[in-house]
Amino acid sequence: MNSKRPVNLDLTTIKLPLPAYTSILHRISGVILFVAIAFLLYALDLSLASEAGFNELKVMMQGFFAKLITWGIVSALLYHLVAGIKHLLMDIDIGDDKLTGILGAKITVVVSAVLIVLAGVVIW
């Protein structure tokens, strides 16, 4: 088979539209939430084990690294929620053509960014 079709394997040269990036980020945030379940279950177990464990967790959550992890998990949750709502609306034929898809992606990014910043303010 002698195909004369061009092959572009350089992923940095491919220009995807904004809805594609928001969809990819939706998947990535889902993976982050899946991994975060381990941290959340550890924190839950520690807090329910005893009063000393609860106090230990309380002290641990005051640290910079713990706040950063918490903010990351909450950020992934907020983005996943907003993008999931956009996908649900697209499932019922709202915003599934090209122009409204781009508008929906822009709204997803802006609303998520605002919620993530607000979450950062509350956490820090």
pTM: 0.84
Q: Tell me the per-residue pLDDT of 39-56, one tens digit each, with 9 for 90 and over.
A: 999 999 999 999 999 999
Q: Residues with Cβ < 8 Å from 46, sequence gap 6 or more?
A: 53, 54, 56, 57
pLDDT attached to residue 61: 93
Dump the DSSP string for 54-74.
Answer: HHHHHHHTTSHHHHHHHHHHH
Instruction: Give 82-102 pLDDT, tens digit per residue.
Output: 999 999 999 999 988 899 999
Q: Could you count the other beta carbons within 10 Å of the beta carbon of residue 108?
A: 23
Q: Which helix (H) or strand (E) element contains residue 3?
A: none
Judge whether residue 1 has pLDDT over 70: no
Average pLDDT estimate for 99-108: 94
What does the mean pLDDT of the chain come to? 92
Distance CA 14, CA 8 (A): 8
CA atoms within 13 A on the CB side of 107: 14
Distances (CA, A) of 4 to 1, 14, 18, 30, 120: 10, 20, 31, 39, 52
